Homo-oligomer: A and B are copies of this chain.
Amino acid sequence: MQIAVLLYDRFTALDAVGPYEVLGRIPDAEVVFTAARPGPVRTDLGSLVVTAEAAFSEVTRPDVLLVPGGPGTAEALADPETLDWIRRVDATTTWTTSVCSGSLLLAGAGLLAGRRATSHWICLEQLPAFGAVPTPERVVIDGKYATAAGVSAGIDLALHLTGRIAGDDVARAVQLVVEYDPQPPYDAGSVATAPAELVASLRASGLAIGTP
């Protein structure tokens, strides 16, 4: 089973690496980090560089597509080569997935029309412009399209997918191997639980994530 992870400048590292750490542990999984051109790709915070080992032209029929988000989403949305590749591989995937503002790329490629989808909370309201139905849940599965909320939600998405792909027992084993027993010291991880003034102030800042 081949899992292709799309990379582009200024993607958010954890969007890709969280799911990689889970999905990459499914027996027989082969993960390939893919970009328009192979080589180093710099993540949004600036100090982490990961390598795209395969070009779009080398990855033509992945079983699973994972599209991360990040501030670079806006630029990627304006790149026909990226949207074309997403559309092309989607034609034969079993699962087409995204984390964070990555769902805007799936939507921009025309794949989410009429479908329920989620995204980072700051860009949920951008989904209707592409015909998608914004759904403020952490993981949304509509047909073969599975979208996750912001950044860390990719880990939860990947556990859901692992269960669907390889069964609950494998998913539980992977959860234990990566010791995913979260105990955040604060309760500010969603707009529902964070202080209202914090939400408002981050909204006002725009976070520079994926403005199309």
Interface residues of A (CB under 8 A from B): 12-14, 17-18, 20-21, 24-25, 30-33, 40, 45, 47-51, 53, 100, 120-121, 138-139, 149-153, 155-156, 159-160, 163, 168-169, 171-173, 175-186, 188-191, 193-195, 198-199, 202, 207
Q: Cβ of A175: which chain B residues have Cβ within 8 Å of it?
A: 184, 186, 188-189, 194
Q: Taking A33-B48, A184-B175 as contacts, is the C-beta distance between A17 and B24 under 8 angstroms?
A: no
Pair A172/B152 contact, Cβ less than 8 Å: no
Q: Taking A47-B33, A198-B173 as contacts, is the C-beta distance between A156 and B178 under 8 angstroms?
A: no
Taking each of A49, A172, A179, A190, which has the highest tally of chain B beta carbons within 10 Å of its own beta carbon? A179
- For this chain, the copies found in one complex come to 2
A121–B138 alpha-carbon span in the complex (Å): 28
A171–B189 alpha-carbon span in the complex (Å): 10
Pair B198/A185 contact, Cβ less than 8 Å: no
Q: Could you pull out 8 A-B pairs where Cβ atoms are within 8 angstroms?
A: A18-B18, A49-B53, A150-B177, A152-B182, A155-B182, A172-B188, A175-B184, A180-B189
Which of B177, B188, B191, B195 is in CB contact (< 8 Å) with A151? B177
A18–B21 alpha-carbon span in the complex (Å): 11
A138–B151 alpha-carbon span in the complex (Å): 21
Which of B18, B149, B173, B185 is in CB contact (< 8 Å) with A202? B173
Q: Taking A13-B21, A21-B14, A185-B160 as contacts, is the C-beta distance between A179 and B195 under 8 angstroms?
A: no
